[in-house]
């Protein structure tokens, strides 16, 4: 997986709610096909961490939409490991947006 800066991450067409101030995007990851991306987040409310996995496979407009997420992780490293595991699972299973 390739690590993405916030600027690179914002180049991807992502659908979904955006709640300013709720969380801070730290960085993203993408797979080789660039059809699967993940974002590590810091929750600004209680300062823990989370992640979201997005894909554009199966999306009618080929935009990225969430297929998995995690929250309340104690640190950035835990969020990174959980994100990578979720992305690996999505790749293995060929998960699509529904």
Give the model confidence (pLDDT) of 26-85 as tens digits. 999 999 888 899 999 999 999 999 999 999 888 778 888 899 999 999 999 999 999 999
**Cα separation of the two ends of the chain:** 24
Separation CA 31–CA 48 (nearest Å): 25
Average pLDDT of the segment spanning 79-96: 93
From residue 27, how far is each of 60, 80, 98 by CA, in Å?
26, 10, 25
Separation CA 69–CA 98 (nearest Å): 15
């Amino acid at each position: 997986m390739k690590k993405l800066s916030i600027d690179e991450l914002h180049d991807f067409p992502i659908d979904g709610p955006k709640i300013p101030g709720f969380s801070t995007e730290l960085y993203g990851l993408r797979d080789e096909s660039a059809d699967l991306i993940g974002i590590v987040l810091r929750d600004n409310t209680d300062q823990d961490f989370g992640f979201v996995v997005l894909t554009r496979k199966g999306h009618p407009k080929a935009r990225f939409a969430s297929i998995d997420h995690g929250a309340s992780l104690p640190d950035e490293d835990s969020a990174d490991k959980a994100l990578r595991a979720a992305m690996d699972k999505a790749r293995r299973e060929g998960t699509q947006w529904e």
